């Protein structure tokens, strides 16, 4: 804090203003600071000057094809009618003690963020090369790269996210957002390997979010490609390539004792999945509350319903589909039959490709709230280990549609 405070104090207000060039009263061009100085104050200033516009006027914030070093947190929320033209690189610095102390609250799971961003009628274009680089080294308590919060009727396209600090992007308290042609790659931090140790570098997470479309995403990250958490409704994920991560995730959810949350109307379709842990998976906390978020919890109520995973092509995945209601504090085990969070009308349709698994699905539902309407149809996958179709459908407390359960679940993927 000391160093960055000094840095902030040593930059006179005039110098901050000089790094934003106002071309007209509504177009702000952000100039990078000389000598790698903190660009955050100039970026905040640019959004203040050009990011709040009443219809029919629109403002514009332009980032040049340059590197902008970010050394402090940003809160640019409440924007209105603004276009963002990202031509360069936003590069976060690695002063971990600073970030651990100063990151901004996301409003979920005690998580925090390096940048709170949001507003109405925002259009952000990265042209396929504008990049946010978190200089990430997964470290407990590090902030999310960007939190899109309080945002409505907005589009984000052609943006690259590299080496996120933690979760890449959280979309929270937001409605009607399109995110397309997005590239996320957080794998060169440390080898992902095939133990799939979670790096906590999720591609995107939705929380308290409605009508969100993710189209043409490429994600390689060692964790959830895209995850739906509490109160995510009307979510479409389509035409995506997911590499070396855990899968499309529902949850985890049910972490807050006694709190009622839902996930409803989710479709993921035309997904290509490469060397992933699963194509898709569903995860709830147990019904027994132990510890507090982000690492503890349980006892949550609600349901996840009307979820369709269709037209997936798997390439060499280690697993195919799984459901667990066993999530608990610090990998504590047991209480798998206690969750009252209900899962119903979840469908897998038309999954093809290859996996190194003889198990199509391992669906562990809680006895306290069995799964109904779990459909699995149109599975044509090759188990490359013995050149056959995977034959196991493992179930606990499931009423199957289109398939028959072959036995109870066991410790997942015993290969
Ligand atoms: C972080 O905050 C703690 C407690 O307020 C303080 O002791 C520590 O010096 C701070 N570190 C930095 C790098 O700001
Ligand atoms: C950005 O600048 C670099 C050199 O600084 C150049 O190689 C690259 O082509 C430029 N990108 C675009 C899209 O103009
Ligand atoms: C971010 O800025 C908004 C005003 O736009 C303010 O209401 C909010 O409290 C700020 N959030 C944090 C965490 O500082
Ligand atoms: C949902 O969001 C899209 C933008 O992705 C928007 O075009 C559409 O109007 C929204 N639908 C509703 C019902 O608000
Ligand atoms: C992700 O980045 C690593 C390291 O730069 C690279 O080897 C890999 O090909 C990238 N993955 C994708 C899907 O682009
Ligand atoms: C989540 O959804 C439930 C059920 O619709 C609602 O009661 C609750 O207020 C919502 N919570 C938030 C924070 O949106
Ligand atoms: C789910 O979709 C149906 C059909 O579009 C709609 O009637 C219903 O309101 C949606 N549910 C939620 C929670 O938005
Ligand atoms: C289920 O969700 C899909 C969108 O994912 C929607 O089209 C459909 O109408 C919903 N069905 C019901 C019964 O709400
Ligand atoms: C099954 O999925 C594949 C791959 O996405 C697609 O090409 C094919 O059209 C789908 N088949 C049906 C019957 O929907
Ligand atoms: C398939 O996955 C295994 C690990 O399960 C890995 O060792 C192997 O390199 C992968 N093959 C290809 C072609 O990616
Ligand atoms: C394929 O391998 C699995 C696990 O090793 C085994 O249980 C299964 O019977 C094998 N299937 C065939 C048809 O050999
Ligand atoms: C499930 O088992 C029943 C009874 O043995 C059989 O009639 C039915 O065809 C099976 N369904 C599938 C999808 O294999």
Residue 11 has pLDDT above 50, yes or no: no
Cα torsion 220, 294, 340, 306: sign = negative
The pLDDT value given to residue 199: 65
Distance 218 CA to ligand 5 centre (A): 10
Distance 225 CA to ligand 6 centre (A): 24
Residue by residue, DSSP assigns 159-202 as -EEES-SSSSEEEEEEEEEEEEEEEEE--SSS--TTTT---S--
Residue 208 has pLDDT above 60, yes or no: yes
Of ligand 1's atoms, which has the minimum distance to the CA of residue 2? 14
Contacts of 283 (CB under 8 A, 6+ apart): 249, 250, 251, 252, 253, 323, 324, 327
Query: Which of 2-11, 43-52, 98-107, 332-341 shows the lowest mean pLDDT across its residues?
Result: 2-11
Across the range 315-338, mean pLDDT stands at 89
The pLDDT value given to residue 134: 87
Determine if the peptide bond prior to 36 is cis (ω within 30°): no
What tokens were used for 153? Answer: 């009727």
For the stretch 263-305, pLDDT in tens is 999 999 999 999 999 999 999 999 999 888 777 899 999 999 9
What are the φ and ψ backbone dihedral angles of 243, each rounded to 5 degrees? -120, 140
The SS3 call for residue 317 is strand
Distance 208 CA to ligand 6 centre (A): 8
| Assigned fold of 246-415 | Pectate Lyase C-like (2.160.20)
Residue nearest to ligand 4 atom 5, measured at CA? 178
The pLDDT value given to residue 221: 87
Q: Assess contact for 273 and 317: CB atoms under 8 A.
A: yes
For the stretch 219-269, pLDDT in tens is 998 889 999 999 999 999 999 999 999 999 999 999 999 999 999 999 999
Which of the listed residues 273, 280, 308, 311 should we mutate to test ligand 9's pocket, taking the one with most ligand atoms within 8 A of CB?
A: 311
Please work out whether the CB of residue 221 comes within 6 Å of at least one atom of ligand 5: no
The SS3 call for residue 44 is helix
Please work out whether the CB of residue 375 comes within 6 Å of at least one atom of ligand 11: no
Query: Which of 114-118, 191-195, 270-274, 310-314 shows the lowest mean pLDDT across its residues?
Result: 191-195
**Which carries the bigger pLDDT value, residue 334 or residue 357?**
357
In which band, very low, low, confident or very high, does the pLDDT at 333 lie, cut at 50, 70 and 90? confident
Nearest to 153 by CA among 237, 232, 212: 212
CA-to-CA distance for 254 and 286, rounded, in angstroms? 7
CA-to-CA distance for 220 and 64, rounded, in angstroms? 27
Residue 390 has pLDDT above 70, yes or no: yes
What tokens were used for 308? Answer: 């369709």
What tokens were used for 104? Answer: 């901004």
The SS3 call for residue 31 is coil
Please work out whether the CB of residue 185 comes within 6 Å of at least one atom of ligand 5: yes
Residue nearest to ligand 12 atom 3, measured at CA? 404
Q: Which of 202, 223, 224, 396 is catalytic?
A: 223
Strand ranges inside 194-298, DSSP E: 204-220, 224-228, 232-243, 247-253, 260-274, 280-285
What are the sequence ranges of the domains in the chain? 246-415
**Which carries the bigger pLDDT value, residue 106 or residue 218?**
218
In which band, very low, low, confident or very high, does the pLDDT at 15 lie, cut at 50, 70 and 90? very low
The pLDDT value given to residue 18: 55
**Which carries the bigger pLDDT value, residue 190 or residue 256?**
256
Percent of the chain scoring above 70 in pLDDT: 90
Across the range 200-226, mean pLDDT stands at 93
Query: Which of 17-21, 45-49, 271-275, 281-285 shows the lowest mean pLDDT across its residues?
Result: 17-21
Based on its alpha-carbon atoms, the radius of gyration of the chain, rounded to whole angstroms, reads 22
CA-to-CA distance for 2 and 102, rounded, in angstroms? 12
Residue 189 has pLDDT above 80, yes or no: no
Rounded to whole angstroms, what are the CA distances from 226 to 65, 89, 96, 242, 309? 29, 23, 26, 9, 13
Cα torsion 229, 116, 293, 246: sign = positive
Which of the listed residues 263, 264, 307 should we mutate to test ligand 7's pocket, taking the one with most ligand atoms within 8 A of CB?
A: 264
How do strand 20-24 and strand 27-30 relate by DSSP bridges? antiparallel
Across the range 327-355, mean pLDDT stands at 92
Which of the listed residues 229, 260, 264 should we mutate to test ligand 6's pocket, taking the one with most ligand atoms within 8 A of CB?
A: 260
In which band, very low, low, confident or very high, does the pLDDT at 331 lie, cut at 50, 70 and 90? low
CA-to-CA distance for 269 and 312, rounded, in angstroms? 7
Q: Assess contact for 182 and 217: CB atoms under 8 A.
A: yes
pTM score > 0.85 for this model? yes
**Is 358 one of the annotated active-site residues of the chain?**
no
CA-to-CA distance for 100 and 386, rounded, in angstroms? 48
Distance 211 CA to ligand 4 centre (A): 6
Q: How many CB atoms lie within 10 A of CB 7?
A: 13
- The overall average pLDDT reported for the chain is 89
Of ligand 2's atoms, which has the minimum distance to the CA of residue 129? 13
| Burial class, 13, CB count within 10 angstroms (exposed 0-12 / middle 13-18 / buried 19+) | exposed
The pLDDT value given to residue 268: 98
Across the range 2-15, mean pLDDT stands at 34
The pLDDT value given to residue 188: 55
CA-to-CA distance for 144 and 22, rounded, in angstroms? 30
Residue 163 has pLDDT above 70, yes or no: yes
Degrees to nearest 5, angle at CA 108 with 107 and 114:
65
Please work out whether the CB of residue 77 comes within 6 Å of at least one atom of ligand 3: yes
Give the H or E element holding residue 356.
Answer: none
For the stretch 115-136, pLDDT in tens is 999 999 999 999 999 999 988 7
**Which carries the bigger pLDDT value, residue 368 or residue 329?**
368
CA-to-CA distance for 235 and 410, rounded, in angstroms? 31
CA-to-CA distance for 350 and 381, rounded, in angstroms? 10
For the stretch 71-92, pLDDT in tens is 999 999 999 999 999 999 999 9
The pLDDT value given to residue 336: 92
């Amino acid at each position: 804090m000391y160093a960055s405070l000094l840095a902030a104090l040593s930059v006179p207000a005039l110098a901050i203003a000089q790094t934003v060039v106002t071309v007209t009263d509504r177009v702000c061009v952000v100039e990078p600071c000389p000598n790698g100085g903190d660009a955050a104050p100039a970026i905040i200033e640019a959004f203040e000057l050009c990011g709040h516009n009443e219809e029919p006027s629109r403002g514009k914030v332009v980032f040049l094809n340059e590197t902008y070093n970010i050394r402090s947190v940003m809160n640019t929320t409440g924007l209105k009618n603004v276009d963002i033209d990202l031509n360069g690189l936003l590069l976060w610095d690695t002063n971990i003690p600073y970030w651990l102390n100063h990151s901004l609250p996301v409003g979920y799971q005690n998580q925090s963020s390096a940048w709170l961003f949001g507003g109405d009628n925002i259009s952000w274009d990265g042209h396929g090369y504008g990049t946010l680089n978190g200089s990430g080294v997964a470290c407990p308590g590090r902030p999310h790269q960007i939190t899109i919060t309080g945002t409505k009727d907005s589009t984000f396209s052609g943006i690259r996210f590299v080496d996120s600090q933690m979760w890449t992007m959280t979309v929270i308290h937001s409605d009607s957002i399109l995110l397309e042609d997005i590239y996320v790659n957080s794998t060169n931090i440390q080898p992902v390997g095939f133990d799939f140790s979670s790096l906590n570098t999720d591609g995107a997470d939705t929380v308290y979010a409605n009508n969100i479309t993710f189209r043409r995403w490429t994600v390689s990250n060692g964790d959830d490609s895209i995850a739906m958490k509490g109160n995510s409704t009307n979510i479409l994920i389509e035409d995506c390539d997911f590499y070396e991560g855990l899968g499309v995730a529902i949850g985890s959810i049910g972490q807050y004792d006694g709190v009622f949350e839902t996930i409803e109307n989710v479709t993921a379709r035309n997904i290509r999945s490469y060397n992933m842990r699963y194509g898709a998976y569903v995860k709830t906390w147990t019904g027994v509350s132990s510890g507090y978020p982000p690492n503890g919890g349980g006892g949550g109520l609600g349901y996840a319903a009307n979820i369709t995973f269709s037209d997936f092509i798997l390439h060499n995945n280690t697993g195919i589909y799984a459901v667990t209601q066993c999530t608990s504090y610090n990998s504590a085990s047991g209480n798998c039959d206690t969750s009252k969070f209900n899962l119903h009308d979840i469908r897998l349709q038309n999954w093809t490709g290859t996996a190194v698994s003889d198990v199509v699905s391992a669906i562990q539902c809680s006895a306290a709230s069995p799964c109904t309407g779990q459909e699995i149809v149109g599975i044509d996958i090759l188990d490359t280990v013995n050149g056959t179709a995977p034959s196991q459908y493992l179930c606990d407390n499931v009423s199957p549609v289109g398939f028959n359960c072959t036995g109870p679940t066991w410790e997942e993927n015993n290969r």
